[in-house]
Homo-oligomer: A and B are copies of this chain.
Amino acid sequence: MSADLVSRLAAILGPSGLLADEADMASYAIDWRRLFPGRPLCVARPASTAEVSEVVKACRAAGAAIVPQGGNTGLAGGAVPDASGGQVVLSLTRMNKVRAVDPVGLTISADAGCILKVAQDAAAEAGRLLPISLAAEGSATLGGVVSTNAGGVNVVRYGMARALVLGLEVVLADGTIVDMARQLRKDNAGYDLKQLFIGTEGTLGIVTGAVLRLVPRPRHTVTALLSVPSPQAALDLLALAQEELGDTLSAFELMSGYSFDLLKRHLNLTPPIASGDWFVLLEAGASLSGLREAAEAALAAALENGTALDGVIAETGAQATQLWALREHITDGEAREGKSMKHDVSVPIVDVPAFLEAADIAIENGAPGAKVNAFGHLGDGNIHYNVVLAPGQDGAAINTLVHDVVARFAGSISAEHGIGQYRVDELLLRRAPAEIALARTLKTALDPDDFLNPGKVLPAGG
């Protein structure tokens, strides 16, 4: 049966469209963090939406589950197969074209396998901005960005990926192609069915194309690094920035003093300002002049009233890049320090200081010797609360400690990374039964045979 399916897929896809050799399939079989090794039956690489539909029908007829995969940059193992050797990886990477850019209507249309960076560049060439910015943008695909409702550093201004999706083209579990790739800013004609496929990690359908919203590209940008005495001071600074800069604020990142210790110790990176217990990196962009003056006035006010201890505004693009490099190397510094448990949590923005305090106490008491490397998107209430383990410490127990505190603040155990296979059990534990039941209703309605990416988001077999 399996051999039959592989031949059938080879007939549909041609020689360049199918990989069945173990060495060829290696990079598709495991996620890039190498936490979730799998073994696919084969890797199907369709070149068109029609081919995707044919692959789905053939796999369905053969009873082989499908695992959709884009750039394979996910952090939750959502795009890799299990170890059974029976699942078919459906890679969208050959469908990689920008279909159209409309600078006046502010849209970009592209295949699901189009690399995010390629789409960003196409928008920039047309003088517009695709405002999704994340570490994996050189490899992540638009289909993956949509299917995982990706976040990144600009969510505070532009929202998650969902907020930018105007249209989708999707293949359902029975192979039906649903073309909703409309270029409309407003469309209330019936249920907005594309929402079903955003952030559901390929478990309800396969995204094959997308129309995303663009925005005008700001002419002026300000990047600033400040040291602050506490998370509460960082929150006060956020309020001040909202007041003075309005919604020009496009990034507001909080980083702990410990994060900066790691940068110095392992990467010899130091900030160009006096140290504090915490740091804030903020960015704002505007078409209007007057941005820099407003930012300078806000910084002066913050230094004057003690909200900030020290601060610098980048004078050049190169300086801005240096400031961002501090933020971007924190994960690297952490990896060099030792084994860590990562947590991608969110709480209501105003509760971030209380959350950090409560979580620190929980770790101090429950896992003495562990070190907390907290940083993330304060402007969204999203903290990467990573814990560097002391020798012999139990990661799972620390995970429970942290997520118990998240629950006390009615927060989320996955703010932007999704559930994948990584947090399926935890989701069942943490979400109310009524929500889990409703999610199952949806999965059963759209994929009754549990054929699309089984075991991701919800347990395999329901």
A contact set with B: CB distance below 8 Å: 102-107, 127, 148-149, 151, 155-156, 159-160, 162-163, 172, 176-180, 182-193, 195-196, 198-200, 215-216, 218-219, 235, 238-239, 242-248, 286-291, 293-294, 346-350, 377, 379-382, 410-419, 423, 427, 430-432, 434-439, 441-442, 444-446, 457-458
Contact = CB atoms under 8 A, between A and B. Distances in A.
Given A193-B435, A287-B294, A416 B186 contact: yes
B105 A350 contact: yes
Q: Quick one: which of A348, A445, A458 has the most chain B CB within 10 A? A: A348
A287 to B, nearest CB: 3
A155 to B, nearest CB: 6
A188 B419 contact: yes
Contacts of A411: 184
A458 B191 CA distance: 9
B184 A242 contact: no
Contacts of A198: 192, 195
Nearest to A162: B192
Nearest to A344: B188
A151 B246 contact: no
A449 to B, nearest CB: 14
A435 B189 CA distance: 11
A248 B431 CA distance: 38
B242 A188 contact: no
A102 B348 CA distance: 10
Given A180-B435, A184-B381, A288-B291, 7 more contacts: A104-B242, A178-B432, A179-B434, A189-B430, A191-B199, A286-B288, A442-B445
Given A104-B350, A350-B105, A438 B289 contact: no
Contacts of A348: 102, 105, 107, 183-184
Contact of A441 (B104, B349, B445): B445
A432 to B, nearest CB: 7
Contacts of A184: 346-348, 381, 411-412, 415
A418 B105 CA distance: 22
Q: Quick one: which of A195, A239, A380, A439 has the most chain B CB within 10 A? A: A195
